[in-house]
C-alpha cells in the first residue's frame, strides 16, 4: 500500500517556506490555476480563506453570521474550541493524525451562527507552493442549529513542484436542522501524496453533502471520512468523482454510521481508470432501526494496465433497515462509441463525451454555481484517450 512507502519525516516543515504576503505575489499561472478551482473573485461568495504552505494569507468574511479565521486564532479566541478540537476524530488514529497533532501548520475555522443560511459558497484554498514540504492542516467547521453553509475547498500545488505531502485533518459539526454542503476539488501533481482525515458529526435533522472531485494526476490519495448521523432523520451523501491516472494510487472510501432512527445515507462513486490503482470503498453501518443506506460504485476501465477495486460493506445490527449496494466495473460500450461516431464525432471525441457523461453525477442539493464549476473542471480535464 502506498501509505507504507510514505515517510513523513522525509518531508521538510512547511513553516520554513518563504511565502508571498498576499495573492498578488503568486505568478499569473498560479493565480489562473486557483481561479479554475473556484477561487475566483468574480464568483459570488460569502467568505474566503487562503493558506499557502503553513501560512494563512487571506481571510475575509462578507456576511453577518459567519465566523472565519485561521485555526491558530480560534484556538486562542474561541472559548468552546475544546468541544470541537479533536472531538470528531482521534489524534491517535494514525501516523498522519499524530504528526498533525504534534506540529500544526494552521488550517481554517469556520462557524455559521444559528439560523443563518448562507446562500453563496465560502471559498477556501489550501495551496502547497514549496517543494518537498509536508503541509499539515487542521480544519474545523461548525454549522449551528438551523444554519446553512456551502463550503468549497480547493487544494492544489505550484505547477512546477516536485514532491510534497498534504495532510488535512477536518472536523465537521452539523447541529440540529443544519446543512453543510462541502465540495472539495483537487488538482495535485504526479508526485504529491495526499492524506485527508475527516470526521463528521450530524445531529437531528441535519444534512451533510460531500462532493469530492479529483480528475488530475496525483501520486497517492488515501482517505476514508467517517460520518456519524447521531440524531433522528439526519442525512449524509458522499459523492466522489475520480479519474485515476497511470501511476496514481487512489484509495477512497466513506464510512457512515446510522445511529439515529430514520437516518439516511447515500455513497456514490464514479471512477475512471486510465491505469494505476483505484480502490473505491464504502461502508454503511446501521446502528438504529428504520434507517436507509445505499452504496453505489461504478468504474470505467479505459486500459488493461491498472486495477480497479470496489469494496462495499453493509453492516446492520437491526432487522428494520434498508441497506443496499450496487457496483459495476466495465469498459466503454462499443455500441455507444459507434452511435456517436455515426453523428459525426471522431472515436476520441465520442469516448471523451461518454467518459464525461459517466462522471456527470447529478448531485442533489448542490448549487447551480458549484455544479457549473464541476462541469468546467470536467471540461478542463480533457478526458478521453
Partner 1 sequence: MVENLLEVKDLWVEVEGREVLRGINLTIPLGETHIIFGRNGSGKTSLLMTIMGFPTYKVKHGQILFKGEDITKMPPYERAKKGIGIMFQRPPTIKGVKVREILKLISKENGAKIEELARAFQFEGFLGRELNKGFSGGELKKSELLQLLIQDPQLVLLDEPESGVDLENIHLIGQMIRKLLQKDLHRKRTKSGLIITHTGFILQYVPADLGYVIMNGEIYCKGNPLEIFEGIQKFGYEGCQQCLKRCEF
* Contacts to partner 1 by CB under 8 A: 333, 335-336, 338-347, 349-350, 353-354, 356-361
CA distance 234 to 333: 38
- Comparing CB distances to partner 1, the nearer of 193 and 359 is 359
C-alpha cell at 341: 461516431
Residue with cell 439516511: 264
| Cβ atoms of residues 267 and 296 within 8 Å | yes
- Comparing CB distances to partner 1, the nearer of 314 and 340 is 340
Least distance to partner 1 from the beta carbon of 278, Å?
Answer: 19
- Comparing CB distances to partner 1, the nearer of 246 and 331 is 331
Least distance to partner 1 from the beta carbon of 241, Å?
Answer: 11
Please report, for the chain, how many H helices and E strands are present, in that order.
6, 21
Least distance to partner 1 from the beta carbon of 378, Å?
Answer: 10
Least distance to partner 1 from the beta carbon of 379, Å?
Answer: 11
344 Cβ partners below 8 Å, 6+ apart? none
95 Cβ partners below 8 Å, 6+ apart? 8
- Comparing CB distances to partner 1, the nearer of 165 and 363 is 363
Least distance to partner 1 from the beta carbon of 272, Å?
Answer: 12
- Comparing CB distances to partner 1, the nearer of 119 and 333 is 333
CA distance 214 to 232: 32
Least distance to partner 1 from the beta carbon of 137, Å?
Answer: 33
End-to-end CA distance of the chain: 27
- Comparing CB distances to partner 1, the nearer of 76 and 334 is 334
- Comparing CB distances to partner 1, the nearer of 290 and 356 is 356
The DSSP 8-state label assigned to residue 159 in this structure reads T
28 Cβ partners below 8 Å, 6+ apart? none
Least distance to partner 1 from the beta carbon of 277, Å?
Answer: 25
Q: Exposed e or buried b for every residue in 172-191, given b needs 16+ CB within 10 A?
A: bbbbbbbbbbbbbbbbbbeb
The DSSP 8-state label assigned to residue 144 in this structure reads -
Amino acid at each position: 500500500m502506498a501509505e507504507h512507502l510514505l515517510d513523513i519525516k522525509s518531508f521538510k516543515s512547511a513553516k520554513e517556506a518563504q511565502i508571498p504576503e498576499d495573492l498578488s505575489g503568486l505568478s499569473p499561472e498560479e493565480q489562473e490555476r486557483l481561479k479554475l478551482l473556484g477561487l475566483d473573485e468574480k464568483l459570488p461568495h460569502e467568505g474566503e480563506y487562503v493558506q499557502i504552505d503553513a501560512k494563512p494569507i487571506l481571510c475575509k468574511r462578507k456576511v453577518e453570521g459567519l465566523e472565519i479565521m485561521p485555526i491558530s486564532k480560534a484556538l486562542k479566541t474561541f472559548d468552546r474550541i475544546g468541544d470541537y478540537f479533536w472531538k470528531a476524530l482521534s489524534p491517535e488514529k494514525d501516523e498522519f493524525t499524530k504528526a498533525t497533532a504534534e506540529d500544526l501548520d494552521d488550517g481554517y475555522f469556520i462557524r455559521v451562527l444559528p439560523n443563518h443560511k448562507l446562500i453563496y459558497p465560502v471559498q477556501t484554498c489550501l495551496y502547497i507552493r514549496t517543494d518537498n514540504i509536508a503541509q499539515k492542516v487542521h480544519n474545523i467547521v461548525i454549522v449551528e442549529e438551523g444554519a446553512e453553509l456551502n463550503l468549497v475547498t480547493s487544494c492544489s500545488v505550484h505547477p512546477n513542484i516536485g514532491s510534497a505531502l498534504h495532510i488535512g485533518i477536518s472536523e465537521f459539526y452539523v447541529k440540529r436542522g443544519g446543512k453543510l454542503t462541502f465540495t472539495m476539488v483537487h488538482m495535485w501533481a504526479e508526485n504529491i501524496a495526499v492524506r485527508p482525515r475527516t470526521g463528521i458529526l450530524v445531529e437531528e435533522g441535519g444534512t451533510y453533502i460531500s462532493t469530492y472531485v479529483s480528475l488530475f494526476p496525483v501520486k497517492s490519495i488515501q482517505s476514508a471520512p467517517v460520518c456519524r448521523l447521531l440524531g433522528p432523520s439526519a442525512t449524509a451523501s458522499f459523492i466522489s468523482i475520480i479519474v485515476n491516472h497511470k501511476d496514481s494510487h487512489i484509495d477512497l472510501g466513506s464510512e457512515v454510521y446510522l445511529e439515529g432512527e430514520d437516518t439516511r445515507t447515500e455513497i456514490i462513486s464514479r471512477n475512471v481508470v486510465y491505469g494505476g490503482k483505484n480502490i473505491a470503498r464504502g461502508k454503511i453501518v446501521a446502528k438504529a432501526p428504520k434507517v436507509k443506506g445505499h452504496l453505489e460504485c461504478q468504474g470505467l476501465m479505459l486500459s488493461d494496465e491498472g486495477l480497479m477495486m470496489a469494496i462495499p460493506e453493509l453492516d446492520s445490527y437491526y432487522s428494520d433497515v434498508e441497506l443496499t449496494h450496487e457496483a459495476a466495473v466495465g469498459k466503454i460500450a462499443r455500441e455507444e462509441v459507434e452511435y456517436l461516431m455515426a453523428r459525426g464525432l471522431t472515436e476520441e471525441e465520442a469516448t471523451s463525451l461518454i467518459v464525461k457523461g459517466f462522471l456527470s453525477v447529478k448531485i442533489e442539493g448542490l448549487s447551480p454555481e458549484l455544479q457549473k464549476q464541476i462541469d468546467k473542471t470536467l471540461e478542463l480535464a480533457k478526458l478521453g484517450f
